[in-house]
Structure 1
Amino acid sequence: MVKLVYFAWVREKIGKDEEELELPATVKTGADLIAHLASLGEEYAEALQFPNAIRIAINMEHAEHDEPIAGAREIGLFPPMTGG
């Protein structure tokens, strides 16, 4: 079981701040996770329709899409951030 936390417009489109999911064994990387989530329903598909734009944090540390997620307690998904 892993805790997923959604931020900004990803959260708005999915309609929840966070959730805990049991991930299939085939979900091994951040990219696999995004693809899996996009298959869970229309709101997920809409939020994740541009997977390369989604940023990932594994246990509160930024990660690349090809990094393994095994052992992650928390994974955050968010859009690119802009600073001011």
Structure 2
Amino acid sequence: MEITILAFGIAKDIFGRAWIKVKLAEAATTADLKSHLETQYPRLKKLASYMVAVNNEYAEDDGILTVHDEVAIIPPVSGG
């Protein structure tokens, strides 16, 4: 299945654009997605942390993805 991934903050810089499309196996998990992204974009692994949001909610690693999900990569943020 092909999923569109939205990127924010430094993730946008790592991907080189605000969104990318990735191909994953049917019934792939959030952990599968992270592994795929970290292989394709090794700089992503170097972040202190990042979250995956699916349909506007933070996702656990064992969450199953579908082709219709809205998926976003949320990098660490700081503020003051």
Q: What's the TM-score once normalised by structure 2's chain length?
A: 0.75
Does residue 13 (structure 1) correspond to residue 14 (structure 2)? The answer is yes
Query: In the superposition, relative to structure 1, how do residues 55 and 45 fare at CA in structure 2: closer, same or farther (>3 Å)?
Result: same
Does residue 37 (structure 1) correspond to residue 37 (structure 2)? The answer is yes
Query: 1:73 and 1:34 mapped to 2: Cα distance?
Result: 15
- Equivalent AA in structure 2 for residue 66 of structure 1: D
Aligned to 1:57: 53
User: Percent identity between the aligned chains?
Assistant: 28
- Equivalent AA in structure 2 for residue 77 of structure 1: I
Query: In the superposition, relative to structure 1, how do residues 80 and 66 fare at CA in structure 2: closer, same or farther (>3 Å)?
Result: farther
Q: CA RMSD in A?
A: 2.3
Aligned to 1:75: 71
Q: Is the 8 A contact 1:6 1:78 kept in 2?
A: yes
Q: Deviations over 1:22-47 (max 9, x none)?
A: 2134x72212101111222xxx111x
Gaps of 5+ in 1: none
Does residue 66 (structure 1) correspond to residue 67 (structure 2)? The answer is no
Gaps of 5+ in 2: none
Q: Is the 8 A contact 1:31 1:65 kept in 2?
A: yes
Alignment: residue pair count? 79
Q: Deviations over 1:6-57 (max 9, x none)?
A: 11011112211102222134x72212101111222xxx111x2147711011
